[in-house]
Amino acid sequence: MGKAYDVMAATCPSRTVLHRIGARWTVFVVLALGDGPRRFTQLKTRIEGITPKVLTETLRALEADGLVRRTSLPGNPPGVEYALTDLGRSLGGPMRAVSEWAESHVPEILAARARYADAEA
C-alpha cells in the first residue's frame, strides 16, 4: 500500500502544509521557540529584521495550524507568551536540520554563485 499523502500529487493537502512550512519566517519562529516559551518582544529581538506585522501574521498562522499555542498572561503590563505545541516541537528537528545545513554550506554556495556569475559574464 502506498502512503496516504504524497507531496508530488498536485492536489494533495500535504502541499498546503509544505507551503506553510516554507513561508519566509516560519523557520525562524519555530527555531526561536525551540528553547521554550517566549514573549512577543523576545521573539522580535531574537529574529533580527522581522517586523511586528510579519511576526504577528506568522504567529497567527502557526497557531491556526496547531503548531504554536498563545497564552495571555494576566496582569499589567499585559504579557503574552508563545510556545510550541507537541506538534510544533516535532517540526523542530527538520527545521533545525535545514537551518544548520544553510549555516554550514554558505562558503560552497557563495563560491558557486560567484563561479556562475563569472561564467555567464
**CB-based burial label for 35 (10 Å; 0-12, 13-18, 19+):** exposed
Binding residue count for a copy of itself, defined by CB under 8 A: 56
**Residue 93 contacts which entry, a copy of itself, DNA, none (Cβ below 5-8 A, type-dependent):** a copy of itself
2 or 119: CB nearest DNA: 119
Site for a copy of itself in 13-42 (CB under 8 A): 13-15, 17-24, 27-28, 31-32
State the minimum distance, in angstroms, from the CB of residue 118 to DNA.
Answer: 19
> What is the amino acid identity at position 113?
R
Q: What CA–CA distances, in Å, run from 75 to 79, 80, 105? A: 7, 10, 46
Q: Is 10 in the site for a copy of itself (CB under 8 A)?
A: yes
CA pair distance 4, 58, nearest whole angstrom:
28
**Window contacting a copy of itself (CB under 8 A); options: 34-42, 51-59, 73-81, 100-108:** 100-108
- Crossing angle for the helix pair 86-104 and 106-120, nearest 10 degrees? 50
Instruction: Look up cell 507568551; give the residue.
Output: 81
Give the residue with the Cβ less far from a copy of itself, 67 or 84.
67
79 binds DNA (CB under 7 A): yes
What is the edge-to-edge ordering of all strands in the sheet holding 68-73? 38-39, 79-84, 68-73
Which residues of this protein are in contact with DNA, per CB under 7 A?
A: 23-25, 39-42, 49-54, 56-59, 70, 77-82
